[in-house]
Structure 1
Amino acid sequence: MSKKIFITGSTGFIGRKLAMKLAQEDNRVVALIRSKQKAKDLQHDNISFVEGDLFSTDAIAEGMEGCDEVYHLAAFASVWAKDDTFHRVNILGTENILDIAQKQGVGKCVVTSTAGVIGPAIDGPVNEDTPRQVDFFTDYESTKYESELKIKERVRNGQHVVIVNPTRVYGPGPLNVSNSVTKLVKQYIEGKWKFMPGDGMSTGNYVFVDDVINGHILAMANGRAGERYLLGGEDATYHELFDTIAVIGGQKHKLYKMPLGVMLTFGKLQLFMAERFGRQPMITPGWVRKYLYKWSVSSAKAETELGYKITSLNDGIQQTVNWLKAE
């Protein structure tokens, strides 16, 4: 049955694909956009637009009128901000969207968080209930975590909200900050990526974008209110990741190990320049420290409760490389 669905973050890497899939399934999608220019690639007969940001209360309320579901994907995910943007967007913006959804009588909401809130894998792969054992590395992680706490309060007061936590997402789509893994794949197959972070043995979890889209829809259909669901893919070290890209891309390129001490010094210099001159840093010390840990993830809960399925790293990279070459 066709539904009316409101979505934020619809011009982002994940949001764009989610909005299109929902529209293609004959749902009426109302997309919050900051400008029509950003939405020029998001055209479908079943998609209409509301212009504004997360605090355009009147416009959002009008767009949500009669909606059955809300997907809230919009977030501030940069490496650094010179003001309180992380707090304002990731916490206050989320609260505003959920406030309006509640007032408009929306039945279900799914909010996109990040696997980073749970923290690294100290004693084996993390799951949704793994207690965090180290401090947050970035403002992005900490504000997303605080947002989750506020969501749980709302659920205790009767609002139906489900949280999804993707890992490192990659695949066909805009080569922006949210799709940095695909940017790395592109640079490697073009012979432009030269460095191996640390000793190359840091483990990450890489999830194909189509799996994340399906995971959002499954969370809306089957997710329990107040629960979080890790939407992960396959664990791989940097060595394994680059070896996979090399085999599929057809050429192996020499990589130079970048000691974490050197990366940390560079991150500190970048942060100093950012704080002193307002220049956006390429990386910060917090992001570098993440390389000291393994980030293995179990998606068993999503697989069991939602019916979530994982695309193998080999198949996902194959589809990504095919798309990059076609582009």
Structure 2
Amino acid sequence: MKVLVTGATGYIGHQLALKLADQNYEVHALLRNLNSTKIPRHDNIIPFRGNICAYDTVQKAIKQCDYVFHTAAFTDLKYHKIDKFYNTNVVGTKNVLEASLRENVKKVVYTSTLSTFGPALYKTPITEEQPRLESYANDYELTKSMSEEVVAEYVEKGVFCTILSPTRVYGPGLKTYSNGVNAIISKILHDKVLFVPSKLDVEANYVFIDDVVNAELLALKNGKAGEKYIIGGENSDYKTLFSYIKNISKSKISIFQINYDLVKNCIAFINNVNAAFGKSFLLTPQVLDSLFTNRSASSQKAVSTLNYRITPLKTGLKQTINYLSKYNDHG
């Protein structure tokens, strides 16, 4: 069996490509840079130089593929224009689905995000039935929602496509911009002091990377065309999450809270100063708000329909802490 994986140098796509290759799939990996150090290496993985924004390169990579896993996305919330978000997340998705239609691909699994649902209602986890009640907080959310509309259009045209909506992913794997949970774990492991905004009661859902990769394969087997499945783990507020990480790692870090509005205003000021000198900052007010938005969620639909299984948060954190400790020890 031949499969196309987009985003194979990303956090989820990298792990997924290796998992598929280990299961004897011939994996076509669409890559912008054939010299990237993040390319998954395996005898069953064949690199194709290209870009989902360029239809002809997608068409070449998808030739004779039975299935497609579309995980590529532009996620950098520091970027202030919509063009890269739109081209990658919307146009790129349309290119993948159009090529899938023309090549008679049997099934497509599209990796979206929980953030398309918007914030969770008070004390009510997000489910697939929740309508979005607030405006889009950033261009990433907007364009990922637009890409889901593209999926719906191509399902009507006959493409068998299932949508997965992962929550906040963590666990062993590549260090990428979008993997903020691992970054927090690393700071608690190695820093002596951590200053955090004073919203530690904000609750979100955290999913172990292995569960997401397994969900991709389960969606291929059990997913229904046009259906959306939330792929998550346990819900936790920051206070509980930090406590788990500290206890498991035996970290002695001191965590101090700073007024949220003060933090946000300082970040805005730093960004304005950096912008004047043509520089960027790791955090923006938009990124901060996205991190401190309630996003508790339920994966019951995936559990009952896909046979999805959830790794307990403490178990996943222990494996992640062990991995990050070794990773940092070896540079």
Q: Taking structure 1 as the reference length, what is the TM-score of the superposition? A: 0.94
Distance 1:274 1:109 in 2: 42
3-state SS of paired residue (1:297): coil
Q: CA RMSD in A?
A: 1.7
Distance 1:280 1:138 in 2: 17
Query: Greater CA deviation, 184-193 or 7-16?
Result: 184-193
3-state SS of paired residue (1:177): coil
The answer to whether the Cα contact below 8 Å between 1:273 and 1:281 also exists between their aligned partners in 2 is no
Once the two structures are superposed, residues 262-318 of structure 1 have per-residue CA deviations (whole angstroms, 9 ceiling, x without a partner) of 122134235535665543332232333345542110000111110111111100000
Which residue of structure 2 lines up, in the alignment, with residue 29 of structure 1? 27
3-state SS of paired residue (1:262): helix
Q: Taking structure 2 as the reference length, what is the TM-score of the superposition? A: 0.93
One-letter code of the match for 2:86?
H
How do 1:262-281 and structure 2 match up within 5 A? 262-273=262-273, 276-281=276-281
The answer to whether the Cα contact below 8 Å between 1:197 and 1:238 also exists between their aligned partners in 2 is no
* Structure 1 runs not aligned, ≥5 long: none
One-letter code of the match for 1:7?
V
Which residue of structure 1 lines up, in the alignment, with residue 61 of structure 2? 63
Which residue of structure 1 lines up, in the alignment, with residue 235 of structure 2? 235
Aligned sequence identity (%): 37
Which residue of structure 2 lines up, in the alignment, with residue 212 of structure 1? 212
* Structure 2 runs not aligned, ≥5 long: none
The answer to whether the Cα contact below 8 Å between 1:163 and 1:229 also exists between their aligned partners in 2 is yes
Which residue of structure 2 lines up, in the alignment, with residue 46 of structure 1? 44
How do 1:50-129 and structure 2 match up within 5 A? 50-83=48-81, 84-123=83-122, 124-129=124-129
Aligned pair in 2 of structure 1 residues 259, 109: CA closer, same or farther (>3 Å)? same
Distance 1:39 1:48 in 2: 15
Matched pairs, number: 325
How do 1:224-263 and structure 2 match up within 5 A? 224-263=224-263
3-state SS of paired residue (2:179): helix
The answer to whether the Cα contact below 8 Å between 1:204 and 1:294 also exists between their aligned partners in 2 is yes
Distance 1:82 1:130 in 2: 29
Distance 1:11 1:207 in 2: 20
One-letter code of the match for 1:96?
N
Distance 2:192 2:179 in 1: 17
Distance 1:192 1:157 in 2: 56
Which residue of structure 1 lines up, in the alignment, with residue 164 of structure 2? 164
Aligned pair in 2 of structure 1 residues 41, 52: CA closer, same or farther (>3 Å)? closer
Matching of residue 148 in structure 1 with residue 156 in structure 2: no
Distance 1:296 1:35 in 2: 36
Distance 2:275 2:226 in 1: 37
Distance 2:272 2:191 in 1: 31
3-state SS of paired residue (1:110): strand
Distance 1:117 1:40 in 2: 27
One-letter code of the match for 1:92?
V
Once the two structures are superposed, residues 152-211 of structure 1 have per-residue CA deviations (whole angstroms, 9 ceiling, x without a partner) of 121122211111111110111122112221111011111256123323111111111000
The answer to whether the Cα contact below 8 Å between 2:229 and 2:301 also exists between their aligned partners in 1 is yes
Aligned pair in 2 of structure 1 residues 229, 273: CA closer, same or farther (>3 Å)? farther
The answer to whether the Cα contact below 8 Å between 1:168 and 1:205 also exists between their aligned partners in 2 is yes
One-letter code of the match for 1:308?
Y
